[in-house]
Structure 1
C-alpha cells in the first residue's frame, strides 16, 4: 500500500481537547517521527504548512521505497530525490521503471518541498537517536528509514555543508547541502485594480441582481468593505455582529472593527470562568467552536494581518471616500433585519441563506461563487489580470489613495501593513498602466517637432521602415514588405 496522507484527531493528555492534524499513514501504521514533529509545531503553524510537510515527507518516503538499494549514502539519495522533483521520473521513452511517474515540478514547488523537509530532518536529528544501520537495505518500516536519515543528519551533517570561518557566526557560516534551484525573482502579482468605472454596475446590477435580497445585501456589504476600506476577501468573514457600532461623532456613519480570530478581545467585556477575555476562549466556552482560522477545508477562513490598530487586537476600517461608511450603515441596518430571522449558533455576521446550510457561517467558496455569478450578470467572467477579482478591490483602494495624494505613512496605516514597502504592489503601476503611459507618450512624441537628424524622428514612420530590408527574417512577407499579409 502506498503512503497515504490524511487527517487524524490526536489525544495527547487527559483534557477534552483533540488536535486535528495531517498525518502520513503506511502499511505499518502512522509515521510516528513525523507525527511527533507535527504535534510540536501545530500550535504555531498553519494547517497549510503542516500539510506541506506531510506531502513532502510522503514524496521522500515513496522515492526511498521505489529506489531501495540504489544508494549507499543518504546524502546522495536526498540529492537525487531533489533532482527528480525538478526533472520528474519519466524517461524520454515515456517509461518509468520506478513506477513513480512524477512529472517535473515547478522550481517554486520543488523548493517548497525541500524547505519543508529541512525542518523535519533538523527535528529528528536533534530529538531521536538510532542504531547505525542502512534502512534502504534492511529496514522494513518507514519510521526506521526516517530515523536513519536523522542519524546521518546528526552524525555526518546530512543535507548540510559547513564553512570553517571563525570570524562569522556559526549559523551564518552554514549552508544546506541540497539548497534547491534558484527560482525566478519573486514578483508580486501584477497590481491590477478593480476598474473604478465598473464598480457601480457591479454593485447595483451584479451583486444587487441576486434573486434573494438577503444574499444581495450580504455580498454588497462585503464588497463595500473590500472596495471602500481595502479589506482582503477573507477578513470580512471574521466580522461579528458586535463589531459594528455607530460613529459617535456622526450618526450617519459607522465604525467597523475586525478582530483577530484568536487573540482579539471578546465583546461586551466578557471573561471566561478562568479570567480569559480573548475570542478563542469566548468561542470555546460560549459556542464550543474553534476560531475559523484553525478549521480546515471549506470552513476555514485564513488570517494574514499582523498589524492591529489597537492592543485589543483589531483592525479598524478606514473608509475612503467616506461616503462608503454611510452606504455601509444603510445596508447594515437592512442586513440585521434579515439576520434576526435566522437561527445562528455562532457570533459571525455573515451567514448562508441556502436551505441546506441556512444560518451557518458564510464560506469563502460560497462568496467566490456568488462573486463570479455577479460578474456573469454583467456578461463578464472573473479575470485577475484585468482586476475583476476580490483582491482587485484592495488594489483599487490603494490606487485611489495614491491618486488622492495621501501620505505613504497614512496609506500604510489604512492598508494595515507592517512596513512601507508592503504597500508597493498596491500603489505601483501595473503592466496595463505602463503600456498605457508609453502609448500616450508615443502619441505626444509623434505630435511634437523633433530636431533634424533625431534618432526618434527617423523611425517614427514604421510603415516605411518595414517595406524593405527584412527578407532574411520574414521571407514570406507576413509582417514586412509593401504588401504585408498580417499588418493590414
Structure 2
C-alpha cells in the first residue's frame, strides 16, 4: 500500500491550536502535504468530518491506482478515465487474477460516482493552487447533458429570492460538463421511513434496555430511548445534552422541557460569559474544561450534528413530547438519574456518561450506546435490523409517523422534527407496504362490488380546485396538484 489514512492533530500557526483531521501518509510515513492542506481547507469551510473522510478515502484510492499503474497513460485525463472505469468493473479478471495486485471488487454505482465527484473537486483545487493539470476538465456538453444542466440551473434559480441580481446567463451554465461524469444510478421510488414496531416498544423499554445489570446504565439508556421515541431526536443529538438543559415544564409540572443546544454555537448555561466576552458552548468548553465540541472530535469520541435549523436565537432544539406521557415518564427517571450522576466525578458537562468501571464518568459514546441498544434487542429475542425498523434512528421515524396518523398539520410536524424544509418530511407520508396492501384490497372490493354512480352538480369543492395546483404559491406541489407530496390540503 502506497499510502495510509490516519487521524492527525495539525498545528498550522503559532497559536498552537490543534485541528483533528484525516490525512494520508506516504510510504516514508510522511504526510502528503497537498492532502493535508485540502483537508484543512474543507474543515475551515465547515464541512463535516465524515464528508472530509470520504474525500480523503477517494484520494487514497487514486494514489493506490497510480502506484499500481506506473506506465501506459498518455495524460492525467487518460489515467483518470481508466481509474474511473476500474471503480465500476473492479480490477480482478475473469480468471481471478489481478496483475496490478489491487484486487478491487466493483464498487456500487453510487459509491463510484461519489469518488469521481470527490476527486474532481480535489484535482480542480490542486490545479488552481499548484498549477497542476485537471484530471477531469470541463468539456462541451452533448445535447442531453445540456438539457439536464438547464433543468438543474432552473431548479436552483426558480425560488431564489436574490435571483434577479445574479448572473443567469444560461450559456455559461449549461453548455459545459465534466469529461467523466460517472454512470447514472437506477431511478428509485421514494424510500419509506421504517419505524420501530410499536408492538415491541414496551418489552424493549422494560425488559430490553431495562434488563441491564447496572441500574444506572438502565436509566441512562431508557432516557435516551424516550428522547428518540417520544421526542423525535436523532441518537447523536441526545448525546449533546447537558445536565443544565432539562427543567420543569411551566405548562405541566409533571413533565420537563428538554433543549439540545448546538455543540459549538449554542448559548452557554447560566448566562455564562467568558474572559473574552464570548457566550457560546465552544468557548465554555474550552475555558472551563479545556475541551472541544464533540462534533469536532475524531474517532469514537465524535458525535455529529445534522440539523440545519434551531428553535431559538440561543441555538437549541426544543423537544416536543408526543404524546405528553413520554415527557412525564422522562421526568420521573431523570430525577433518579441525576442523583446517581451527582456522586460521579466528571470533567465535562454532558448528561449521559459511561458507567463501565474502566471509563466511569466519561462522556457516553455512540458506539457504546449502539452496542447496549443491540444487547437490549437480544434480551427480548430480536436482532438489530434497519430494514425491520430495529435500529436507533427508526424511533425518530415512529415519532414522525405517529404525528402524521394523529392528523397533526404538516407545518407543525416540520417544527417538531426541526426540518429546514417541508420536503424533508415527505418520506414520512409515503405509504408503507401494509398501507398499500390495505388500499389495494379495498379497491378490489370496490371493483367487484361497484356502487351506483351518483352525479354531483354544483360549485367545485376545495379538493377539486387544489387538484389543479397553484403554481404561484405552491410551485413544487407540496400541498396541491393531482399528486401532492404531503397529501391533500385541508380546507
TM-score by length of 1: 0.83
Aligned to 1:265: 267
State how far apart, in whole Å, the 2-side matches of 1:314 and 1:297 are.
25
State how far apart, in whole Å, the 2-side matches of 1:351 and 1:418 are.
31
Alignment equivalent of 1:160, drawn from 138, 154, 166: 138
Is the CA contact 2:196–2:390 (under 8 Å) kept in the aligned structure 1? yes
Deviation at 1:74, TM superposition (A): 1.4
Q: Which 4+ stretches in 1 moved above 4 angstroms?
A: 163-167, 186-189, 439-442, 445-451
Question: Residue deviations 1:63-92, cap 9 Å, x none?
Answer: 122221211121111111100011011111
State how far apart, in whole Å, the 2-side matches of 1:167 and 1:159 are.
21
Structure 2 vs 1, CA of residues 181 and 297 (structure 1 numbering), >3 Å: closer, same or farther?
Answer: same
Structure 2 vs 1, CA of residues 7 and 449 (structure 1 numbering), >3 Å: closer, same or farther?
Answer: closer
How large is the Cα RMSD of the aligned pairs?
Answer: 2.2
Alignment equivalent of 1:349, drawn from 335, 348, 351: 351
Deviation at 1:325, TM superposition (A): 1.2
Is the CA contact 2:232–2:395 (under 8 Å) kept in the aligned structure 1? yes
Larger displacement relative to structure 2 (428-437 or 9-18): 428-437
Deviation at 1:244, TM superposition (A): 0.4
Question: Residue deviations 1:221-275, cap 9 Å, x none?
Answer: 1111111111111111000000001112321121100001111111111111111
Structure 1 unmatched ranges of 5 or more: 130-149, 452-488
Deviation at 1:449, TM superposition (A): 7.4
Q: How many residues are matched?
A: 426
SS, match of residue 42 in structure 1: helix
- Whichever of the two has the greater Rg, that structure is 1
Is the CA contact 1:344–1:360 (under 8 Å) kept in the aligned structure 2? yes
Larger displacement relative to structure 2 (61-70 or 86-95): 61-70
Is the CA contact 1:395–1:427 (under 8 Å) kept in the aligned structure 2? no
Is the CA contact 1:242–1:267 (under 8 Å) kept in the aligned structure 2? yes
Is the CA contact 2:266–2:280 (under 8 Å) kept in the aligned structure 1? yes
State how far apart, in whole Å, the 1-side matches of 2:333 and 2:76 are.
63
2:52 aligned with 1:35:
no
Structure 2 vs 1, CA of residues 167 and 298 (structure 1 numbering), >3 Å: closer, same or farther?
Answer: closer
Is the CA contact 1:262–1:278 (under 8 Å) kept in the aligned structure 2? yes
Structure 2 vs 1, CA of residues 449 and 309 (structure 1 numbering), >3 Å: closer, same or farther?
Answer: closer
2:363 aligned with 1:385:
no
Structure 2 unmatched ranges of 5 or more: 147-167, 453-491
State how far apart, in whole Å, the 1-side matches of 2:169 and 2:265 are.
42
Larger displacement relative to structure 2 (305-314 or 38-47): 38-47
Instruction: State how 1:278-289 maps to structure 2 within 5 Å.
Output: 278-289=280-291
Question: Residue deviations 1:202-238, cap 9 Å, x none?
Answer: 2122222222111111111111111111111111100
Aligned to 1:226: 228
Question: Residue deviations 1:107-158, cap 9 Å, x none?
Answer: 11111111111211111111113xxxxxxxxxxxxxxxxxxxx2x22xxx85
State how far apart, in whole Å, the 2-side matches of 1:169 and 1:308 are.
39
Is the CA contact 2:136–2:180 (under 8 Å) kept in the aligned structure 1? no
Aligned to 2:7: 7
Alignment equivalent of 1:114, drawn from 113, 116, 132: 116
Deviation at 1:438, TM superposition (A): 3.2
Aligned to 1:56: 58
Question: Residue deviations 1:405-449, cap 9 Å, x none?
Answer: 11000011011101111011123222343234435655x469847
Aligned to 2:293: 291
State how far apart, in whole Å, the 2-side matches of 1:54 and 1:244 are.
39
State how far apart, in whole Å, the 2-side matches of 1:388 and 1:440 are.
30
State how far apart, in whole Å, the 2-side matches of 1:449 and 1:189 are.
33
State how far apart, in whole Å, the 1-side matches of 2:377 and 2:446 are.
39
Aligned to 1:358: 360
Aligned to 2:49: 47
SS, match of residue 17 in structure 1: coil
SS, match of residue 355 in structure 1: coil
Aligned to 2:246: 244
Is the CA contact 1:191–1:429 (under 8 Å) kept in the aligned structure 2? no
